[in-house]
Amino acid sequence: MSKLFIGISVWGYDHWVGVFYPKNLLQKDKLKYYSQKNCLKI
């Protein structure tokens, strides 16, 4: 069985801070943080 991976083109929206990203997360760490989550934006 094959796996299908779906992601988003932008992971650093400022309005996600405090909702998805911790408030103290540095901009340079957002992609790493996002990549560790098992989520999908549709």
Residue 38, domain extent: 1-42
What local confidence, expressed as pLDDT, does residue 37 receive? 79
pLDDT by residue, tens only, the chain of 42 residues? 787 777 667 777 888 899 889 999 999 998 888 888 766 665
Q: How many CA atoms lie within 13 A of 39 on its CB side?
A: 10
What local confidence, expressed as pLDDT, does residue 39 receive? 67
What local confidence, expressed as pLDDT, does residue 17 receive? 93
Which ranges of the chain does DSSP label H, i.e. alpha helix? Answer: 30-35
Our count of domains for the chain comes to 1
Give burial (CB, 10 Å; 0-12/13-18/19+) of 33.
middle
What local confidence, expressed as pLDDT, does residue 18 receive? 93
What local confidence, expressed as pLDDT, does residue 36 receive? 86
Q: Is the pTM of this model over 0.75?
A: no
